[in-house]
Structure 1
Amino acid sequence: MSLKYAAIRASFELLWLTGMPRLFRLLSRSRGVIFTLHRVLPAPPADFAPNAILQVQPDFLDYCLERLGELDIDSVSLDEALQRLASSRKGRPFVVLTFDDAYRDNLQHALPILRAHEAPFTLYVPTAFVDGVGQLWWQAIEDIIARQEAVAFSEAGETEYVETRTLAQKQEAFDRLYWRMRKLPEPERLALLNDFTTAYGYDLHRQCRELIMDWQELRQFAGDPLCTIGAHTVHHYELAKLPLEQARNEMIQSVDIIEAQFGIRPKHFSYPLGGPLSCGPREFELAAELGFRTAVTTRPGGLYPHHLDKLCQLPRVSLNGYFQARRYVDVFASGGLFTQLGRLTG
């Protein structure tokens, strides 16, 4: 675990011990929170699993929903959340559950829990993933580094061999490659990813088909009254790295494809990756121009009435896989508290 996450965990412990979440829920002007989830898996992550931040276990999700009820916090849809933000009175606090990327484990392990609790949720769908031709590059580089004792990094015509025998070496190699890819323009990132996966015989499309639902499986979500299907681009590219017209096409084509499949035209959108490197004022304006009712980021914070003027740049709180202690649910559910934590930790 990085120093950043260690510091956050220490903050969570202190906040819980001092009862601050309850105090913030009582005094804060925050009306609610949008939770971000990705994967729901019963097995604990491996020792080397940098993407474990994206997964929670089913019993933790189940407890979250149970605990929210104990705290008198309602689980609502995005549309109802907007109605509550527009109310002149604060009313009961609420959470909105959102899932990104359409992982198959959402169907296997999350949907039964959501139905048991009658909890509304939004599922954001990158359509190329569901077509089986997406590139879950963050998982691919983890998988390759996990099984290798050394990897080759090529840059500017030079090749460097990096040892990955120990957990520390694997983590260092992952961080180095991950952030290199994050900072590259999308065409260069795609070329680097292709070279790296080809060198180690890694089939990205097979990985996609194994991890992501197909359209037939996704119909079980589209037909469920608890579920709102949202758009998440076609290829899950970081929109801020794309020319304007390509970014627009990624957004609108994903809506058109989902409408063709299900007869539902999504009005809610999630920016892939969702941080400052991935989306900004241009993308926020584009989402509004294209007619999305809301668009969510991954920037932390609670929801306030002023977000009605910023509906295409809504914050979310990640149910991070590193923080599955039950006592942390009280912290996650406090929008005002998490707004302050977000300012401190970035």
Structure 2
Amino acid sequence: MSMKYTAIRAMFEAMWLSRLPHLIRSLSSSRGVIFTLHRVLPDEPADFSPNAILQVQPDFLDYVIERVRDLDLDIVSLDEALERLAAPKPGKRFVVLTFDDAYKDNLRHALPILRRHEAPFTLYVPTAMVDGVGELWWQAIEDIIARQEAIALTSGGETDYVDTLTTSEKAEAFNALYWQMRNMPEAERVKLVRSFATSYGYDLDKQCRELIMDWQELRLFAGDPLCTIGAHTVHHYELAKLPLEKARNEIVQSADILMAQFGQRPIHLSYPLGGPLSAGQREFDLAQELGFRSAVTTRPGGLYARHAKTPHALPRISLNGYFQSRRYVDVFATGAIFSAIGRLTG
């Protein structure tokens, strides 16, 4: 775990021991929070698993739902959350559960828990991935580095060979390649990840089909009355890195495809990756222009009455795989803490 996450864990521990979350919740004007989830897997991650940040275990999800209700928080749909934000007076505080990317493990491991607790949720769907032709590039580079003792990193036309024997060497190589790709235009990033995968005999399309629900599975998932389907673009590109018309097409086409598949046009959107590098005011305006009722980021924070006026830039709190301690759920459920963190880091 990096020094950053070690520091965050120490902060969470101090807050829990001081009972500060309870005090903040009682005094804060935050009306609720939206949780971000990706994968739900029963197995412990390997020592080298940089994407473990995106996964929680079923038992933890089960506890989160129980605990937030013990804290007298309602678990509500996005539509209900928006209505509560717009209400002239604050009502009962709430939590919204959202899942990004349509992983198969959501169907296998998350849905039974959500059904048992009768907990509504939203699933944001990147349509190319459900077609089996998307690129889960962040997982691909982890998988490749995990099995290699050295890799070739190419930048500026020059190639360096980097040892990846130890966990720390693998982590360093992953971080270098991840941020190289994040800082590239999307077309160049796609070209690089395809070339990198081919060099090491890694089948990106097969990986996509293995990890992401197909349309039949998604229809089973979406058919549950607890589920709201939201758009998550076609290719899961960082919209802020695209020309305006291409960004618009990514959103519109994903909504069109979901409309064709389910007979209902999605009115909620999630910006891929969702941080300041991936979505800004241009994207917020675009979501509003295209008629979405809400759009969520991954910028941390709680929900306040003011968010009723900016529903296309909603903050979310990640249920981070590095912090699956039951005592931290009280911290996660306290939106004001993450609003403060967002101001410090934003």
TM-score interval, normalised by the smaller of the two chains: over 0.9
Higher deviation after alignment, 233-242 or 218-227? 218-227
Alignment match, 1:144: 144
Aligned partners of 2:12 and 2:343: how far apart in 1?
15
Alignment match, 1:293: 293
- Does residue 233 (structure 1) correspond to residue 243 (structure 2)? The answer is no
Aligned partners of 1:345 and 1:14: how far apart in 2?
20
Aligned partners of 1:278 and 1:86: how far apart in 2?
27
Alignment match, 2:36: 36
Alignment match, 1:310: 310
Aligned partners of 2:199 and 2:167: how far apart in 1?
22
Aligned partners of 1:165 and 1:318: how far apart in 2?
31
How far apart are 1:90 and its partner, in Å? 1.6
| Secondary structure of the structure 1 residue equivalent to 2:321 | coil
Alignment match, 1:92: 92
Aligned partners of 1:157 and 1:32: how far apart in 2?
49
User: 1:56-85 CA distances to partner (integer Å, 9 max, x unpaired)?
Assistant: 000000000011111111100000001111
Aligned partners of 2:78 and 2:131: how far apart in 1?
26
- Does residue 22 (structure 1) correspond to residue 22 (structure 2)? The answer is yes
Alignment match, 2:322: 322
2:7 partner amino acid = A
How far apart are 1:220 and its partner, in Å? 1.4
- How does 1:21-170 map onto structure 2 within 5 Å? 21-170=21-170
Aligned partners of 1:345 and 1:326: how far apart in 2?
25
How far apart are 1:86 and its partner, in Å? 1.4
User: 1:128-180 CA distances to partner (integer Å, 9 max, x unpaired)?
Assistant: 00000000000000000000000001122221100000011000000000000
2:263 partner amino acid = G
- Number of equivalenced pairs: 346
How far apart are 1:181 and its partner, in Å? 0.2
| Secondary structure of the structure 2 residue equivalent to 1:233 | coil
Alignment match, 1:258: 258
2:50 partner amino acid = P
How far apart are 1:221 and its partner, in Å? 2.1
Aligned partners of 1:283 and 1:6: how far apart in 2?
33
1:194 partner amino acid = R
1:64 partner amino acid = V
Aligned partners of 1:154 and 1:341: how far apart in 2?
35
Aligned partners of 2:157 and 2:337: how far apart in 1?
48
User: 1:184-237 CA distances to partner (integer Å, 9 max, x unpaired)?
Assistant: 001111111111111001000000000000000001122111000000000000
User: 1:229-259 CA distances to partner (integer Å, 9 max, x unpaired)?
Assistant: 0000000000011111110000000000001
Moved over 4 A (4+): none
Aligned partners of 1:108 and 1:345: how far apart in 2?
35
Q: TM-score, normalised by structure 1?
A: 0.99
Alignment match, 1:182: 182
Alignment match, 1:9: 9
1:220 partner amino acid = L
Percent of matched pairs sharing the same residue: 73
1:261 partner amino acid = Q
1:84 partner amino acid = R
Aligned partners of 2:179 and 2:111: how far apart in 1?
33
Aligned partners of 2:121 and 2:157: how far apart in 1?
47
Aligned partners of 1:248 and 1:191: how far apart in 2?
22
User: 1:69-127 CA distances to partner (integer Å, 9 max, x unpaired)?
Assistant: 11111100000001111122222110000000000000000000000000000000000
- Does residue 248 (structure 1) correspond to residue 248 (structure 2)? The answer is yes
How far apart are 1:345 and its partner, in Å? 4.3
Aligned partners of 1:89 and 1:314: how far apart in 2?
20
Aligned partners of 1:172 and 1:337: how far apart in 2?
30
Flag structure 1 segments of 5+ consecutive residues without an equivalent.
none
Aligned partners of 1:274 and 1:242: how far apart in 2?
14
2:54 partner amino acid = L
| Secondary structure of the structure 1 residue equivalent to 2:323 | coil
Alignment match, 1:211: 211
| Secondary structure of the structure 2 residue equivalent to 1:322 | helix
Aligned partners of 1:87 and 1:295: how far apart in 2?
19
How far apart are 1:342 and its partner, in Å? 2.6
| Secondary structure of the structure 2 residue equivalent to 1:259 | helix
Alignment match, 2:332: 332
